[in-house]
Amino acid sequence: MTADDLYQAEIVARAKSGAGDSRLDPHDARATVDNPLCGDRVTLDLSLAAGHVVALGHRTRGCALCQAAAETLRRCAPGMAPSEAPAHREALAAYLAGRQDLPERLADFSAFAPVRSHPSRQGCVLLPFEAFIEAAAMVDPDRR
């Protein structure tokens, strides 16, 4: 597996979209997480209605994989329940580890298939999900 597979046009395009600031104001929950290994940082906002994500926004200071993953999550998140955030992270981690296929809701992450052979980069793809989990945990219980 080479850098060619990793930085295919689709990932680079999503990384470029993900480089912008799509944070939400107002928002119902916000969390910032750092990757202690590389210093990458994702700030992620959730806006909710009737117990589900209506919109997810983020500002990501990170590598192309992290930015592309945050952007992909932004597209997939509407309709997800905050309480499901940990399960989505596990599903993506299992996919990247080669243990299972992607669930329907995360189908867009198939663009990250080449990352399966780069274990050292899988944390980059998962970082936005760590932020999602933290933000989801902050959601007012009445709104979950």
**Residues at the interface with other proteins (CB under 8 A):** 2-4, 6-7, 12, 37-41, 61-66, 118, 121, 124
User: Min. distance of Cβ 44 from other proteins in angstroms?
Assistant: 16
User: Min. distance of Cβ 15 from other proteins in angstroms?
Assistant: 8
User: 6 or 48: whose CB is closer to other proteins?
Assistant: 6
User: 36 or 141: whose CB is closer to other proteins?
Assistant: 36
Nearest to 144 by CA among 46, 65, 73, 56: 46
User: 80 or 112: whose CB is closer to other proteins?
Assistant: 112
Reading the block at residue 11, the tokens are 């990932």
For residue 90, the SS3 value is: helix
User: Min. distance of Cβ 121 from other proteins in angstroms?
Assistant: 7
Strand partners, 46: 29, 56
For 116, residues 6+ apart whose C-beta sits below 8 A from its C-beta are: 95, 96, 97, 98
